[in-house]
Amino acid sequence: MGRALALAGQVVLVTGSSRGIGAEVAVKVAGEGARVAVHYHSSADGAQRTLERARNAGAEAESFAADIRDGRQSQQLIERVIDRFGCVDALVNNAGRTQVGPFLEIEPAEWDEVIRMDLTAAFYTCRAVLPSMLERGSGTIVNVASRLGQIGVADTAAYSAAKAGLIGLTRALAREFGPHGIRVNAVAPGPTVTDMTTDLLESEEGSRRLADTALGRFGRADEVANAVVFLLSDASALFLGQTLNPNAGGYMP
């Protein structure tokens, strides 16, 4: 007999899953028996690759385009996923963008954009999905934060602020909706090897961040995805408002 699948039959929506950590989460949950909603904004080709990988893992999967920085589009995204699969059992808020540069050189427009993408988008998707979870009396949400939201790093003020806010949002929602059977948690990866971080990790700053890791290497996106799958599964039934830290020992709270 094969092993029991941790997410058998669940519908999991992963935002920003056309590449990087989001793509690996989509493929991992597919391998655990979930039906997968692959979300993307502009990278249709990347979403198609994730979709094919999820289906090859044995999952029923579909892709959905939306600009989740917009509340209306976030609401429509949730409605479309429910129309296609019948419900959303789990939401993984992974979509985001990085920001690197001196604080005094951040233009207000850039600040606003980073906050919108890395924090406000999660507000919109959570607000859109929670009513249906409340109706069923169950659901899980995992927010992908960052080690930078915990420790702060120079030249990442907007990104660090947004990710710290996401951790705060996680705790507040866990307190409010935990009594209704809905678990909300976060992961805060350290530097992780993806196509989006290659230049940074190979730079002088990357060398400094590598020196911070007790493990002596950067994490991989699939390793972060393992932590997300754990938080989505019944194995983490007692975890609410928690932030797991797949960061190679770069921060030890």
Three-state SS string over the chain comes to: CCCCCCCCCCEEEECCCCCHHHHHHHHHHHHCCCEEEEEECCCHHHHHHHHHHHHHCCCCEEEEECCCCCHHHHHHHHHHHHHHHCCCCEEEECCCCCCCCCHHHCCHHHHHHHHHHHHHHHHHHHHHHHHHHHHHCCEEEEEECCCHHHHCCCCCHHHHHHHHHHHHHHHHHHHHHHHHCEEEEEECCCCEECCCCHHHHCCHHHHHHHHCCCCCCCEEHHHHHHHHHHHHCHHHCCCCCCEECCCCCCCCC
Q: What is the pLDDT of residue 206?
A: 74
Q: Which tens digits make up the pLDDT trace of 102-131?
A: 999 999 999 999 999 999 999 999 999 999
Q: Which tens digits make up the pLDDT trace of 171-214?
A: 999 999 999 999 999 999 999 987 766 666 677 777 787 888 89
pLDDT less than 50: residues of the chain: none
Q: What is the pLDDT of residue 204?
A: 75
Domains annotated for the chain, with CATH where assigned, are: 11-244 (3.40.50.720)
Q: What is the pLDDT of residue 208?
A: 80
- As annotated, the active-site residues are 159
pTM listed for this prediction: 0.95
Q: What is the pLDDT of residue 196?
A: 65
Q: What is the pLDDT of residue 210?
A: 82
